[in-house]
Amino acid sequence: MKALSEREDAYDALCNVDTQSLDTLGRDCLRALMKYFKYHDLKVEYAHGDFAIDMDNPYQVVGSADYCFVARVDAVEGVEYRDVVEKETSLTETEKVGTPYTKYKVTILQNIKGKLSRNTPITVTKFGGIKEDQKSVFLFEGDALMEEGNVYVLLAHKQPDGSLLTCGPNTTVEVTDLDDTKNVTTTKELKSGIIAKYKEYYLHEEKVE
Collect the ranges in the chain with pLDDT lower than 70.
1-41, 88-94, 180-188
Say what the pLDDT of residue 181 is: 62
Q: Which pTM value belongs to this model?
A: 0.76
**pLDDT given for residue 134 in this prediction:** 80
What is d(CA 156, CA 166) in angstroms, rounded to the nearest whole number? 5
Q: What contacts 79, CB < 8 A, 6 or more positions away?
A: 100, 101, 102, 103, 129, 130
Nearest to 117 by CA among 173, 162, 77, 180: 162
- Amino acid residing at 148: E
What is the model's pLDDT at position 3? Answer: 42
pLDDT tens digits, residue range 162-183? 999 999 999 999 999 887 666 6
Q: What is the CATH number of domain 42-203?
A: 2.40.50.120
Length of the chain: 209
pLDDT at 23: 56
For the sheet with 129-130, list strands across it: 43-47, 136-140, 129-130
